[in-house]
């Protein structure tokens, strides 16, 4: 059975390629009627024609039961590029899968036409085609999901970098305003970018402002201490500021201490301390006008 | 066997580590440095590790030891130019180097040594006066 089945489907595909393509396009256009802004009809036609061509070749060359064989490599590659582009264009998973699944109807119609006389082989061919297209559809969905996850991961990385700006407050004074929860991954990024900035600017004071950190638990305190210790090893002093009264209370209740690291209530206090450390004075003059 | 050069600059010794600091070399440096401190009666030691890319717990401990040894011999040790990756590694290894004096670069390290020298010099003269 597996030996004569593929030949029939491949043969039907080859003979009715144009007709199947037209029917398939109609089905897809109906499904994507609301999505004309995402993909043009010409693009859809080109993609579908390409796919039918590659699909037909693969049907003739390989077994129809296993799409992991080398004969199906071009089909897999093509589907991979389709799902990746659909994922970035903003299609939903079901819409992407529809690209493959909508091929069923026109293909079945032609199989039925061809094999109307032989009920048994018709059922066999139908079954083979269903299994095959289901596999391809699932493969597409899987790839679509992977592509989406890649996008999410990249955005996470970008957010990490965006969320840790190191600013230069004065000659020799750096500041990092931290906003949001500090997990280990973020601490790592904060630490690295802060230490790199210390090297680049030759600063000897780094102010870490935690006004935007909602809660400080033992883990976060430990992470902050690590950052301070690393900065000290490089020859810079770390000042932690922006500790709100409630947070200070919680920390004392938890028994969390920053040890030898200098802490201040506000960024202004920290800056005043930093000025004293580097020997700068801020004086008040009579205001202009 | 290769050695790390120790340069005398004024009253201070300057050590710039430009090669891969493997364990034997680190121990040799520790020996040479203590000998040299005693020989020239140096008041301060400046160790530039800005070219040091890899550090392990042993090297970290040797750095701490050098600081402790030179302090015992009456000289201040300042480690300058530690790279971010090295600093993170030492912190993650959990090495306690709080006894180690650090500075950003050689320039600031020198300034720190000069600052440290003043009280030390006056203490030294006090002691000699008592005798």
Nearest CA among A170, A171, A48, A147 for reference residue A102: A48
CB atoms within 10 A of CB A213: 20
Q: What percent of chain B lies above the pLDDT cut of 70? A: 90
Per-residue pLDDT band at B119 (split at 50, 70, 90)? low
Q: Collapsing DSSP states into helix, strand and coil, what is residue B125?
A: helix
For chain A, say whether B77 makes contact (Cβ under 8 Å): no
Domain boundaries, chain B: 6-130
Q: Collapsing DSSP states into helix, strand and coil, what is residue A238?
A: strand
**CA distance to partner chain A, nearest, from residue B125 (Å):** 28
Token couple for A71: 């004969």
**pLDDT at res. B26:** 92
Using one digit for the tens of pLDDT, what is the confidence trace for B73-82?
Answer: 989 999 999 9
Using one digit for the tens of pLDDT, what is the confidence trace for A182-241?
Answer: 777 888 888 889 999 999 999 999 999 999 888 888 888 888 888 999 999 999 999 999
Per-residue pLDDT band at A35 (split at 50, 70, 90)? low
Domains and CATH numbers, chain A: 4-156 (1.10.490), 167-278 (3.30.750.24)
Q: Chain A: residue nearest B90 by CA? A: A230
Mutate to test the interface with B, among A174, A225, A234, A279 (most CBs of B within 10 A): A234
Tell me if A234 and B102 make a contact (CB, 8 A cut-off). Answer: yes
Q: Chain B: residue nearest A261 by CA? A: B98
Q: What percent of chain A lies above the pLDDT cut of 70? A: 95
Average pLDDT score over residue span A14-20: 84
Alpha helices in A163-278 (DSSP H): 184-201, 218-233, 245-254, 267-278
For chain A, say whether B45 makes contact (Cβ under 8 Å): no
The helix (run of H) or strand (run of E) holding residue A44 is helix A41-61
Report the C-alpha gap between A5 and A237 in whole angstroms: 76
Which residues of chain B make contact with A166, given a CB cutoff of 8 A? none
**pLDDT at res. A34:** 62
Q: Are strands A173-179 and A262-264 parallel, antiparallel or unpaired?
A: unpaired
Tell me if A235 and B102 make a contact (CB, 8 A cut-off). Answer: yes
Using one digit for the tens of pLDDT, what is the confidence trace for B8-34?
Answer: 998 899 999 988 888 999 999 999 999
Q: A218-222, B9-13, B40-44, B48-52 — which is least confidently predicted?
A: A218-222
Report the C-alpha gap between B68 and B9 in whole angstroms: 21
Report the C-alpha gap between A47 and A66 in whole angstroms: 23
Helix %, strand %, coil % for chain A, to 5? 65, 10, 25
Give the CATH number of domain B6-130: 3.30.750.24
């Amino acid at each position: 059975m597996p030996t004569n089945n593929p030949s029939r489907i491949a043969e039907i595909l080859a003979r009715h390629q144009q007709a199947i393509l037209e029917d398939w396009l109609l089905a897809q256009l109906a499904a994507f009627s609301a999505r004309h802004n995402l993909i043009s009809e010409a693009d859809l036609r080109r993609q579908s024609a390409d796919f039918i061509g590659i699909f037909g070749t693969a049907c003739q060359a390989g077994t129809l039961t296993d799409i992991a064989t080398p004969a199906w490599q071009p089909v897999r590659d093509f589907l991979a590029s389709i799902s990746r582009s659909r994922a970035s264009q903003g299609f939903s998973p079901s819409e992407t899968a529809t690209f493959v699944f909508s091929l069923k109807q026109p293909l079945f119609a032609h199989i039925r036409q061809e094999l109307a006389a032989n009920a048994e082989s018709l059922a066999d061919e139908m079954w083979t085609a269903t299994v095959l297209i289901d596999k391809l559809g699932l493969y597409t969905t899987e790839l679509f999901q992977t592509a989406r996850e890649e996008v999410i991961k990249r955005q996470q990385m970008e957010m990490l970098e965006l969320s840790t700006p190191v600013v230069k407050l004065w000659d020799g004074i750096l500041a990092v305003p931290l906003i949001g929860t500090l997990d280990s991954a973020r601490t790592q990024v904060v630490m690295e970018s802060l230490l790199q900035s210390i090297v680049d600017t030759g600063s000897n004071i780094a102010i870490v402002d935690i006004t935007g950190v909602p809660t400080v638990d033992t883990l976060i305190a430990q992470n902050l201490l690590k950052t301070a210790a690393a900065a000290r090893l490089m020859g810079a002093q770390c000042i932690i500021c922006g500790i709100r009264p409630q947070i200070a209370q919680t920390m004392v209740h938890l028994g969390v201490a920053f040890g030898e690291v200098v802490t201040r209530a506000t960024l202004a206090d920290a800056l005043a301390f930093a000025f004293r450390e580097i020997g700068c004075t801020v004086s008040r003059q009579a205001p202009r006008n | 066997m290769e050695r790390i050069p120790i340069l005398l600059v004024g009253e201070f010794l300057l050590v710039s580590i430009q090669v891969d600091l493997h364990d034997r070399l680190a121990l040799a440096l520790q020996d040479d440095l203590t000998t040299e401190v005693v020989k020239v009666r140096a008041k301060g030691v400046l160790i530039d590790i800005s070219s040091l890319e890899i550090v392990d717990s042993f090297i970290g401990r040797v750095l701490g030891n050098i600081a402790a040894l030179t302090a015992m011999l009456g000289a201040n040790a300042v480690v300058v130019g530690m790279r971010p990756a090295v600093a993170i590694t030492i912190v993650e290894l959990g090495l306690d180097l709080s006894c180690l004096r650090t500075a950003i670069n050689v320039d600031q390290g020198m300034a720190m040594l000069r600052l440290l020298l003043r009280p030390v010099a006056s203490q030294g003269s006090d002691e000699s006066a008592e005798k």
